[in-house]
Amino acid sequence: MQTSECRLLVTLAGEMNMRKAAEKLFVSQPALSQRLQSIEKSWDTQIFIRSQKGLTLTPAGEKIIEYATEVIEKEEKVKEQIHSLNTHVHGTLKLAVASIIGQHWLPNVLKQFVSRYPHARISLITGWSSEILKHLYEDQVHIGIIRGTPDWKGQKHHVLTDHLYLVDTEIKSLEELKTTERPFIQFKSDSTYYQEIQDWWHRQFQHPPKRTIVVDQIETCKQMAFHGIGYAILPSITFHENDPNVYKIPLFDEAGQSVKRNTWLLGYDSAFQLKQVEAFLEIVKENIHIPN
């Protein structure tokens, strides 16, 4: 039975009068009577008993009206849900984010997103930037946030630029690196970041560091440097107001420009049509200027 037929029956059951029901449905009384006969034929049972006093529901009719009422209520509920989907942010926001961004920049942005859009869900993957690109290429996520400058054909938004510093509890100038016996603490990263540091070092010094310690995570590297075990090269995004007092020496290239590290937000055009992705990008723009 179509929804229009359900509404017809519910209206008849509410009015219990053919004339009044016809007026309410904006149809003629003969047309209403003909449609009712057609519905009763399809159910192979009498729904209403007609008399001069009006209509009376048969026992079968009561069951059918019950069913018709449920159909209308379910349709209205689904329409409300669809309207809600069109006016509110729902669905899952799938993110793949460089680990350092996930640790130091993303939490505040996600806190605002969750607070503003409580019906949306979040799926988050962190890793090296090369891994993030792989997730994007395989269409496993909506948005990727990576370090470095990618060769990306889809939408690409600049998120932030941070500067690189040599950090140590003892070394006060880069000249001291030529003679120090302190170890250089390095963290594993994707090839582009590692290569940037290697290029800078070889432009400044003829020989590699005398001693090197390699750790898995940037946070481990930072804590070891802050606890006086050795020196490290860290991006400014990792620094916080409550960090202990250490020497932070900015790095410059051969042209005297600050050595920088860019962060980009990437995605395919189709992903940016999703409401949850639009909402996330809106919050990112509120927190950090993204040039058009």
Q: How many residues does the chain have?
A: 292
Q: pLDDT above 70 covers what percent of the chain?
A: 96
How sure is the predictor about 85, in pLDDT bands with cuts at 50, 70 and 90?
low
* Residues 182-225: tens digit of each pLDDT: 999 998 887 678 888 888 999 888 888 989 999 988 899 999 99
Domains of the chain with bracketed CATH: 3-87 (1.10.10.10), 92-160+262-287 (3.40.190.10), 161-260 (3.40.190.290)
Using DSSP, state whether 154 is helix, strand or coil.
coil
Q: Has residue 292 got a pLDDT over 50?
A: no
CB 185, CB 224: distance < 8 Å = yes
Residues 206-214: contacts with CB under 8 Å, at least 24 apart: 209/177, 209/183, 209/184, 210/180, 210/181, 211/181, 211/182, 211/183, 211/184, 212/183, 212/184, 212/185, 212/186, 213/183, 213/184, 213/185, 213/186, 214/186, 214/187, 214/188
- pLDDT score of 225: 96
How sure is the predictor about 133, in pLDDT bands with cuts at 50, 70 and 90?
very high
The first and second tokens of residue 256, run together, are: 């005297």
Q: Has residue 290 got a pLDDT over 50?
A: no
pTM of the prediction? 0.68
* Residues 92-111: tens digit of each pLDDT: 999 999 999 999 999 999 99
Q: Has residue 84 got a pLDDT over 90?
A: no
* Residues 234-244: tens digit of each pLDDT: 999 999 888 88
Identify residue 5 by its one-letter amino acid code. E
Mean pLDDT of 275-288: 90
Beta bridge partners, 124, equal 95
